[in-house]
Amino acid sequence: METTNFGEHFMLDCYGGDYERLNDKDLVTIVLIELPEQLGMKRLSDPYVFKAEDNAIKDPGGWSGIVVIAESHISIHTFPKRKFVSIDVYTCMNGINRELIKKYFKEAFKLEEIEENFVRRGTRYPAHNVC
């Protein structure tokens, strides 16, 4: 059976962000609207952004947001008091513009440092329907 890879998962852990920007629900929402457009992706929903309260362990609270796209999803979890944001861009598209994504988030949240992980997903995904 001929195979291909299903898509790409680009994960960013970002440090030294601007407290006010990381604590801005409207900015998180705007990012989840703008980035799919810039990447040529189709949103299937409006973004959902939720206030995550301090859990008194290691999570000091922040904003968690997700947008479902035809190609999968983009999620953001901000931790303003730690100046940290965790981001996932998961898509069935191949060849996503990782530099554009990093630059976009660096500017949006005024980040100082970005740690990135990239995974090709579904590396044995069937190239054709089997049924």
For the stretch 27-62, pLDDT in tens is: 999 999 999 999 999 999 999 999 998 888 888 899
Query: What per-residue confidence (pLDDT) applies to 118?
Result: 97
Domain extent for 8: 3-126
Q: Which two tokens stand for residue 31?
A: 């990012």
Is residue 82 in a domain? yes
- Catalytic site positions: 72, 77, 92
Is residue 26 in a domain? yes
Q: pLDDT at residue 3 above 70?
A: no
Is residue 131 in a domain? no
Is residue 28 in a domain? yes
Query: What per-residue confidence (pLDDT) applies to 1?
Result: 63
CATH code for position 46:
3.60.90.10
Compute the distance between CA of residue 11 and CA of residue 98 in angstroms, rounded to an integer: 10
Q: How many domains does the chain have?
A: 1
Is residue 9 in a domain? yes
Q: Report the predicted TM-score, pTM, of the whole model to 2 decimal places.
A: 0.92
Query: What per-residue confidence (pLDDT) applies to 12?
Result: 98
Compute the distance between CA of residue 39 and CA of residue 88 in angstroms, rounded to an integer: 14
- Average pLDDT over all residues of the chain: 94
